[in-house]
């Protein structure tokens, strides 16, 4: 019983410190309380290492940013989106953002914790994505990073994998031995290995739509994007949509939110049209 008390106290402390929402309230209406026990700095470090490894592999294979025109296009769209992230969380404006394009036939893109963006060329080439549609994809992925869905998934998975005592030690920096190695390996792989939950995908749809509108991209493009991606794969969801197929409910949610964020889009277009 004496040994159990410290664990229970630790559990309560972790629970209280680990429940928070990562983004400010906005038109998107996303305000869910999240389970965050893993330290953000450690998650960002793991993600940066994994991203660097991915870049090194792509460079070796001569598939990184080889289409200069496509890279410029993706980077321009990404930078306009990044310029709006402070609306959702001011600290994100200071992240070490990176944008890259890999020559890859997959219909896919991602943004790792800390702002590490990757877009696969297949996403553009196979569906002939417009700038507005690309903004919908990249905005969706940036929203995952803003909401720290990767950190949330890792917190849940680490607790399930190693238990409360190991998690407490990891948070405090005291975990050692085999568990340390296993934890580091787990952390570097979880971003890719664990799919986002449906609620996380819904949140990213909504924040991504608002983010794109604030950057001056047509919010209606989100609907046409999901329709084109699904149709390209003969009606079955491609890898990008594997955990969140473009079903009627999702399309309806996007259509319902689009009129609410349209004034943001129109205001952004007016600002962009003004002489500099």
pLDDT digits (tens, 9 = 90+) for 158-211: 766 655 555 555 555 544 334 433 444 444 455 555 556 778 899 999 999 999
> E-assigned strands of the chain?
19-20, 34-35, 98-102, 109-112, 116-120
pLDDT band for position 244 (cuts 50, 70, 90): low
Mean of the pLDDT values across residues 72-98? 97
Q: Does residue 21 lie within any of the structural domains?
A: no
pLDDT band for position 8 (cuts 50, 70, 90): very low
User: Which residues lie below 8 Å from residue 148, measured CB to CB, with a gap of 6+?
Assistant: 22, 34, 36, 40, 43, 113
Q: Does residue 29 lie within any of the structural domains?
A: no
pLDDT digits (tens, 9 = 90+) for 112-171: 999 999 999 999 999 999 999 999 999 999 999 999 998 888 777 776 665 555 555 555
Q: Does residue 158 lie within any of the structural domains?
A: yes
Mean of the pLDDT values across residues 43-50? 88
Q: Does residue 44 lie within any of the structural domains?
A: yes
Q: Does residue 228 lie within any of the structural domains?
A: yes
Closest CA to 108 of 208, 192, 209, 198: 192
What's the domain range around 89?
A: 38-271
Q: Does residue 5 lie within any of the structural domains?
A: no
Q: Does residue 129 lie within any of the structural domains?
A: yes
Mean of the pLDDT values across residues 33-59? 89
Q: Does residue 178 lie within any of the structural domains?
A: yes
Q: What is the pTM of this model?
A: 0.82
- Catalytic residue numbers read 141
Instruction: Provide the domain count of the chain.
Output: 1
């Amino acid at each position: 019983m004496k040994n159990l008390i410290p664990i229970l106290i630790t559990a309560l402390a972790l629970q209280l410190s680990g429940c928070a929402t990562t983004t400010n309230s906005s038109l998107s209406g996303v305000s869910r309380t999240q389970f965050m026990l893993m330290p953000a700095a450690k998650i960002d470090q793991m993600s940066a290492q994994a991203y660097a490894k991915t870049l090194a592999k792509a460079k070796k294979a001569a598939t990184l940013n080889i289409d200069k025109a496509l890279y410029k296009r993706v980077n321009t769209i990404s930078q306009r989106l990044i310029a709006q992230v402070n609306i959702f969380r001011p600290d994100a404006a200071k992240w070490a953002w990176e944008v890259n394009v890999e020559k890859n036939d997959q219909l896919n893109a991602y943004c790792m914790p800390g702002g590490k963006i990757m877009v696969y060329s297949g996403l553009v080439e196979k569906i002939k994505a417009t700038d507005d549609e690309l903004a919908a994809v990249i905005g969706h992925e940036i929203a995952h990073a803003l909401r720290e869905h990767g950190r949330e998934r890792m917190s849940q998975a680490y607790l399930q994998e190693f238990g409360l005592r190991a998690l407490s030690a990891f948070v405090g920096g005291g975990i050692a031995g085999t568990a340390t190695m296993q934890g580091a390996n787990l952390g570097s792989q979880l971003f890719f290995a664990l799919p986002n939950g449906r609620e996380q995908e819904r949140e990213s749809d909504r924040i991504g739509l608002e983010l794109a509108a604030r950057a001056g991209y047509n919010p209606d493009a989100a609907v046409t994007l999901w329709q084109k991606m699904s149709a390209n794969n003969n009606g079955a969801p491609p890898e990008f949509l594997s955990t969140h197929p473009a079903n009627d409910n999702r399309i309806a949610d996007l259509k319902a939110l689009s009129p609410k964020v349209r004034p943001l889009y129109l205001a952004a277009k007016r600002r962009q049209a003004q002489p500099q």
